[in-house]
Structure formats: structure tokens, C-alpha cells
Amino acid sequence: LKNYNIVEEFDGRLNIKLESIKSFFGTEIIGFQKGFEERNQEVYDLISTFEVKYRKFLKQNLINSFGEIQSKEKILVCLKGERREKFQNLSSEELLDSKNSPLYLLELNLIVTKQWKIFENYFTEQSNYVRLKLNEINKMRTYPSHSKELQFDDTDYKSCTSWILHFTEVFEENTK
């Protein structure tokens, strides 16, 4: 069933994908749709909490692994030219401040990807899968932050919000 994209495995459990039921019956599944504002607000709230915990998690692990100076270098290497120059004078504490960090979510994801060796033990998933899910969260984040309606069907929406909650829990459990 996994090969036919009917079920997906999450946390060691198999879940039936609603999209497969919808295509089988050829009709919309009622009760899962949320309005534009309600869905965007829910995602905005989840991602706001996610980002705060993500930044704390990254800051703690980078500084513990590399120290203040080297962790700053590891962060800056993930930024493009202009942004790297712009933030050159900030400390790693400032770059990953949980409330006022200047870094984009996509840049945080690059840090995890490039420094996977120090983060891999916190995740049960493989690096490519973590990167894929973090990038999906980033895409989902762009919609409410730019006042656009989410462009996901209900199955994708539920899957992505469950990943936001999953990663938030991982970050929370591994941050002091």
C-alpha cells in the first residue's frame, strides 16, 4: 500500500492517506477543509512556535559543538554573499536569537543540512527526508506570511502541520 501511495508511515505507524480515499470515491471529503483565514492563522501560530524552538535548538547545539567563534563561521558559510557581509559583525547568539534572528527559515534549514553530523542523532529520519520536510515547512510558511492562501490539499496540509509539530517536539526535547 505504501508503494501505491495509499498509506504513509509516520512515527512507526501506517496512516491512510485521505487523498487516496478521495480519488477512489471521486469526491471531496467533507469536514477537513478549513477557511483561508483559519488555516493560515493555524499555520502561522504553529510555525511561530516552531521557529523560536528551532533557533534555540540550533544555537545551543552549534555553540556546544563548535564554540561561539567557530559556530558563527558555520552559520555565515550558509548565507549568500550580501547577507553574509551584512551579518558579519553579529555573534552566533545574535544570528540565532530566538525572537530577533535576522536569518530566514531556509537559511536555518541550510545550517542543519551542512552541519548534519551534529544534528543527526536528534532525528529518527534520514538527512534527505529531514531536509525535504523542513523545506516543505518553509514553503508552507511563505503563504501565511505573505497573506496568501495555502496551496495544499487537506492531506498535504495535515501532513505538513504534523511535521511542524513533530520537529517542534524534537527541538523542545533537546534544548535546555
**pTM score of the predicted model:** 0.74
The 10s digit of each residue's pLDDT in 74-111 is 999 999 999 999 999 999 999 999 989 999 999 999 99
pLDDT one-digit tens code per residue, 109-135:
999 999 999 999 999 999 999 999 998
List, for residues 26-41, the tens digit of each pLDDT value. 555 444 555 666 777 7
Of residues 170 and 146, more confidence is placed in: 170
Angle (deg, nearest 10), helices 127-145 and 154-173: 110
What lies within 8 Å, CB to CB, of 6 at 6+ separation is 16, 17, 20
CB 66 within 8 Å of CB 59: no
